[in-house]
Amino acid sequence: MLQKILFALVAVQFGIVGFADTSYQQLLADETNGADWLSYSGGYSSQRFSPLTEINSSNVNQLKVMWAYQMPTAGIAGAGLQETTPLVADGIMYLTESPSTVTSLDARTGKVLWRWSPEIPNSVLNIGFPRINRGVALLDDKVYVATLDARLFALDAGTGAVRWETTVADNDTGFSMTLAPLALDGKIIVGVSGAEAGVRAFVDAYDADSGERIWRTYTVPAPGEPGSETWQGDDWQTGGGSTWLTGSFDAELNTLYWTTGNPAPDWNGDVRPGDNLFTCSVLALDPDTGEMRWHFQYTPHDTHDWDANQIPVLLDGEFEGEQRKLLALANRNAFYYLIDRESGEFLLGEAYSYQTWAEGIDDNGRPIVIPNSEPTREGNIVWPSLQGATNWFSPSYNPLSEQFFVANRRMGAKYYKSDVDYEPGKPFLGGGEQAMDGDEASGAVVALEVMTGKFQWEFPLQSPPWSGVMATAGGLVFGSSNEGNFFALDAANGDALWNFNSGAHVRTNPMGFSIDSNQRVAIIGGRTLFVFGLE
Residue 434 half-sphere exposure toward CB, CA atoms < 13 A: 9
For residues 87-108, give the mean pLDDT: 96
Q: Is the pLDDT of residue 398 over 90?
A: yes
Exposed/middle/buried for residue 9 (C-beta within 10 Å: 0-12, 13-18, 19+) = exposed
pLDDT computed for residue 535 by the predictor: 84
The pLDDT of residue 15 is above 80:
no
Q: What string of DSSP letters covers 435-463? A: E--GGG-EEEEEEEETTT--EEEEEEESS
SS (H, E, C) 265-308: CCCCHHHCCCCCCCCCEEEEECCCCCCEEEEEECCCCCCCCCCC
pLDDT at 61 over 90: yes
| Side-chain-facing half-sphere of 382: CA atoms under 13 Å | 27
pLDDT digits 0-9 by tens, 415-440: 999 999 999 889 999 999 998 877 78
Query: Average of pLDDT values for 312-330?
Result: 97
The answer to whether 152 and 142 are in contact (CB under 8 A) is: no
Q: Which of 36, 149, 305, 307 is catalytic?
A: 305
Q: Where are the domains of the chain?
A: 2-533
pLDDT at 78: 52
Mean pLDDT of the chain: 94
Q: What is the mean pLDDT of residues 193-219?
A: 97
Please report the sign of the dihedral spanned by the C-alpha atoms of residue 99, residue 100, residue 102, residue 108.
Answer: positive
Q: Which residue has the higher pLDDT, 73 or 51?
A: 51
Q: How far is CA 185 from CA 26, 158, 190, in A?
A: 11, 21, 14
What is the pLDDT averaged over residues 195-223? 97
Of 298 and 1, the one with more pLDDT: 298
Classify domain 2-533 by CATH number: 2.140.10.10
Q: How confident is the model at residue 20 (pLDDT cuts 50, 70, 90)?
A: confident
Least confident stretch, 115-129, 304-318, 470-484? 115-129
Tell me 245's DSSP state. S
With bands split at pLDDT 50, 70 and 90, how would you rate the model's confidence at 13? very low
Is 495 labeled as catalytic in the residue annotation? no
Closest to 114 in 3D by CA, of 7, 2, 210: 7
pLDDT confidence of residue 79: 55
Q: How confident is the model at residue 3 (pLDDT cuts 50, 70, 90)?
A: very low
pLDDT at 283: 98
Task: Determine the Cα–Cα distance for residues 191 and 423; give it in Å rounded to an integer.
Answer: 22
Report the C-alpha gap between 427 and 195 in whole angstroms.
9
Kindly indicate the confidence band of residue 6, based on its pLDDT and cuts at 50, 70 and 90.
very low
In contact, 442 and 464? CB cutoff 8 Å: yes
Q: Are 90 and 21 in contact (CB under 8 A)?
A: yes
10 has a pLDDT exceeding 90: no
Question: What's residue 1's pLDDT?
Answer: 42
187-191 and 92-97 beta bridge pairing:
unpaired
In the chain, what percentage of residues exceed pLDDT 90? 90
Stretch 12-27: mean pLDDT: 72
- If pLDDT is split at 50, 70 and 90, which confidence band does 5 have? very low
* Cβ neighbours around 377 below 10 Å, total: 10
Q: How far is CA 504 from CA 84, 123, 192, 348, 527, in A?
A: 15, 27, 29, 38, 8
State how beta strands 413-417 and 403-410 pair. unpaired
| Arithmetic mean of pLDDT, 483-492 | 97
Quick check: 4 pLDDT over 50?
A: no
For the cut 80, the answer to whether the pLDDT of residue 8 exceeds it is no
Give residue 234's pLDDT: 95
- φ/ψ of 5, rounded to 5, equals -65, -45
Which pLDDT belongs to residue 438? 79
